[in-house]
Amino acid sequence: MKVFKAGAAAAAAVALALTATACGVSNDKSGGSGDSTATGGGKDKVVVGIKFDQPGLGLKTPDGKYTGFDIDVATYVAKELGYQPDQIEFKQAISSERENLISNGDVKFVVATYSINDKRKERVDFAGPYFLAHQDLLVRANDDSITKAEDLNSKKLCSVTGSTSAQNVKTKLAPKADLLEQGGYSECLTALENGAVDALTTDNSILAGYASQEKNQGKFKLVGLSLSNENYGIGLKKGDKELQTKINAALKKMVEDGSWDAAVKKNFGPANYKNEPAPQITEGS
pLDDT at 4: 40
Fold of the domain built from segment(s) 35-132+231-271: D-Maltodextrin-Binding Protein; domain 2 (3.40.190)
Query: Any idea where the domains of the chain sit in the sequence?
Result: 35-132+231-271, 134-229
Supply φ then ψ for residue 66, to 5 degrees: -120, 130
Q: How confident is the model at residue 41 (pLDDT cuts 50, 70, 90)?
A: very low
Question: Is the Cβ–Cβ distance between 23 and 38 less than 8 Å?
Answer: no
What is the distance of C-alpha 254 from the center of its chain?
18
pLDDT digits (tens, 9 = 90+) for 95-117: 989 999 999 999 999 999 999 99
- Please check whether the two domains, 35-132+231-271 and 134-229, share a CATH topology: yes
CATH topology of domain 134-229: D-Maltodextrin-Binding Protein; domain 2 (3.40.190)
The per-residue pLDDT for range 144-154, each reduced to its tens digit, is 999 999 999 98
Contact 134, 226 (CB under 8 A): yes
Model confidence at 62, in pLDDT bands (50, 70, 90)? Answer: very high
The stretch 174-196 carries a mean pLDDT of 92
